[in-house]
Amino acid sequence: MGELVEDEALRAERLLDAQAKAVELFAAVEERGILAPDVRETEASDAIRDLAGDLLGIRRYWHKRIVRAGVNTLRPYRENPPDRVLGEDDIAFADFGPIFEDWEADFGRTFVLGGDPVKHALRDALPKVFDAGRAYFDAVPDITGEQLYAHMVQLAHEAGWEFGGEIAGHLVGQFPHETIDGAKIASYIAPGSDQPMRRPDRNGQTSHWILEVHLVDREREIGGFLEQLLDLGPAAS
């Protein structure tokens, strides 16, 4: 039993370390102004990739790297909208899944260019909705993925936005997780995911989860995105 507890503690430590490095990367992205007017989404994505390599030695990613701006922020992960140039008064988000020593991170944050109060309000709502979703997860011991997804949709509406994602998160762990579990609905926080989230994974170990918040305003054609570990680590705000 002692070995299992120690192993779970080590797994949690490695996931948190991977996320801490992702936080460091995104802080550097903001400090260096990589997401800026007249920069293409693909150019920004490549610049973040290069920075990750130079700063942290990251060379591998377990899912496609995403930078989306303007109307493209409405589009969910699985879509591939046309490349867009960031504008002077734009909103953009980055979603990266770097691998650190074979452990997956999945981290997303939203950036606002300019002073548009609605875009700033959207960005500022993301961590509040995340933290409310985490509080609900903490309060319901036998919660399922579909129950948490439904609650995230409700939280988005209560905050004055629409939930834009087909899922609200997924399992995360040691690479490769997506190759093994990508087709199984039980691996996602989504409709139809009816197993308790607090369950052993396929290896009999603790399941760890990423929570995704994708808020959109379809009338204004803007969206924002935030994601990080749900069951480990600090709050989003």
In a domain, 92, yes or no: yes
In a domain, 46, yes or no: yes
Mean pLDDT, all residues of the chain:
87
Report pLDDT digits (tens) over 208-224.
Answer: 999 999 999 999 999 99
Q: Which helix (H) or strand (E) holds 130?
A: helix 117-139
In a domain, 237, yes or no: no
Say whether pLDDT at 164 is over 80.
Answer: yes
**What pLDDT is attached to residue 55?**
76
In a domain, 236, yes or no: no
In a domain, 235, yes or no: no
3-class secondary-structure state, position 177: helix
Residue 215: give its domain's CATH number: 3.90.230.10
For the ranges 36-50, 119-133, 148-162, 175-189, the lowest mean pLDDT is seen at: 175-189
**What pLDDT is attached to residue 176?**
47
**What pLDDT is attached to residue 237?**
66
Say whether pLDDT at 132 is over 70.
Answer: yes
**What pLDDT is attached to residue 4?**
47
The full DSSP string for 17-68 is HHHHHHHHHHHHHHHTT-S-TT-BHHHHHHHHHHHHHHHH----BSS--EEE
The highest-confidence range among 30-44, 57-71, 163-177, by mean pLDDT, is 30-44
Query: How many distinct structural domains can be found in the chain?
Result: 1
Report pLDDT digits (tens) over 40-57.
Answer: 999 998 998 888 888 777
Residues 152, 189: Cα–Cα separation, whole Å: 10
CB atoms within 10 A of CB 139: 8
Residues 51, 96: Cα–Cα separation, whole Å: 13
- Domain span including residue 54: 2-229
- 206, with CB counted inside 10 A (0-12, 13-18, 19+), is middle
pTM of the model: 0.89
**What pLDDT is attached to residue 180?**
41
In a domain, 234, yes or no: no
**What pLDDT is attached to residue 3?**
45
- For 97-191, strand residue ranges (E) read 99-100, 103-104, 107-112, 162-163, 169-172
**What pLDDT is attached to residue 15?**
86
Report pLDDT digits (tens) over 49-79.
Answer: 888 888 777 666 545 667 999 999 998 877 8
Say whether pLDDT at 23 is over 50.
Answer: yes
The highest-confidence range among 50-59, 89-98, 147-156, by mean pLDDT, is 147-156
Note whether 143 and 196 are within 8 A (CB): yes
Mean pLDDT of 23-36: 91
Residues 186, 193: Cα–Cα separation, whole Å: 5
3-class secondary-structure state, position 126: helix
In a domain, 101, yes or no: yes
In a domain, 159, yes or no: yes
